[in-house]
Structure 1
Amino acid sequence: MKKLILLLTLSAFIAATADAQTGDQKYLPKVKSLDSTLYNLYAVISGEKGEKRDWDLFKYLFHADAQLIPSGKNQEGVIGARYMSPDGYVTSSGKWLEENGFFEKEIYRKVDTFGNITQVFSTYESYRSEKDEKPFARGINSIQLMHDGSRYWIINIYWMAETAEHPLPEKYLPH
């Protein structure tokens, strides 16, 4: 019985390793550069109503301990933040994105890098459809990334939508 359990455990490990390597082969080019990583971040959450998203790619973009952190005022007017793992984001937002249609497009970027860390202020516009002419929302994603020598990992995304009280500053808009 112990040999059977060991054999099943080993088989599961080999299968998981093969799946991870297949994912690496498939997705590694998408995280080789800062530009490709950010492009794929926006592309993977965007799609027309009814269009499936590649949630495996979405999760591949992120470090295992990454957080997605929306911030802003709640119903009572208190400023706060909500912390989600990539899996938590998919659970809380994935169905809505696919059922309603959603496109987020980067319109401006400010990048600061020191060693293996990069901080990006990425100004975005949000649309329900790619055909929409005017965005229904805008804001800034503060994206922290790590380059491990072979790929970029998203460590955190901390964002805030534009409001009447906090319009986007000119320095974070296209010139």
Structure 2
Amino acid sequence: MKKLVILIFTCLLTFSISAQESTEKAKDYSKKVQTLDSTIKALYAVISGEKGEARDWELFKYLFKPEAKLIPSGKDKNGEYQVRYMTPDDYINSSGKWLIENGFFEKEIHRKVNTFGNITQVFSTYESFHSASDKKPFMRGINSIQLLYDGNRWWVINIYWTQETKENPIPKKHLPKQ
């Protein structure tokens, strides 16, 4: 009986130490989602980086509410508008390697915010660069970002976006005032 008690005590102690170590190793991202602005800034920053620079995918996933979607839209090869629905993990799997191999910086250049109660819709105009030192973007577009404030933090619910094209230029009302 004494051996059994010692064995149980040893197992509990090991489990307690292990749980404490994993808690200590977990990063605290809570400050990144305290305000709408900090959440949007974290969203842009986490996907941005120089060629060869790893992204913090743990933070990326932390920004999103479970069941959140990323929804790119654009014309297919037949010229018809299509959308694709991705989870944050789908996005990481489909775009993560490309971001690191090519370098990618997405910078917000204009924002329109509409809030009602605990929901917010942000129209966020962006420019994309391969390096922070690039002067001219290789792409522009608008992210339609839906967010939820749960009383403690902001959650990204969906990001629905489209790129600017010659046929679909960004309207002046969604660009910085010149």
- TM-score when normalising by structure 1: 0.88
1:108 match: 110
Partner of 2:4: none
Alpha-carbon offset, residue 76 of structure 1:
1.8
Per the TM alignment, residue 22 of structure 1 is displaced from its structure 2 partner at its CA by 3.4
Residues 161 and 89 of structure 1, relative CA distance in 2, 3 Å threshold: same
Provide the secondary structure at the position in 2 that maps to 1:171: helix
Cα deviation, residue 19, structure 1: 4.5
Aligned residue for 1:126?
128
What is the match of residue 78 of structure 1? 80
Aligned residue among 61, 69, 72 for 2:71: 69
Displaced runs of 4 or more, over 3 A: 18-23
Cα deviation digits, residues 79-113 of structure 1 (max 9, x gap):
10000000110000001101110000000000000
CA distance in 2, matches of 1:31, 1:72: 29
**Cα distance in 1 between the residues matched to 2:66 and 2:99:** 23
Q: 2:26 aligns with which of 6, 19, 22?
A: 22
Aligned counterpart for 1:38 among listed residues 14, 37, 40: 40
RMSD: 2.1
Give 3-state SS (helix, strand or coil) of 2:123's partner.
strand
130, 136, 139: which one pairs with 2:138? 136
Q: Which residue of 2 aligns with 1:155?
A: 157
In 2: Cα distance, 1:114 partner to 1:20 partner: 37
Secondary structure of the residue that 2:143 maps to in structure 1? Answer: strand
**Structure (1 or 2) with the larger CA radius of gyration:** 2
Map of 1:90-101 to 2, 5 A cutoff?
Answer: 90-101=92-103
Partners of 2:24 and 2:149 lie apart in 1 by 19
CA distance in 2, matches of 1:154, 1:120: 11
Query: CA-to-partner distance for each residue in 1:42-96, whole Å, 9 max, x for gaps?
Result: 0000000000000000000000110000001012211100000001100000011
Structure 1 unaligned blocks of 5 or more: none
Equivalent pairs: percent with the same residue? 64
Structure 1 residue 49 corresponds to structure 2 residue 44: no
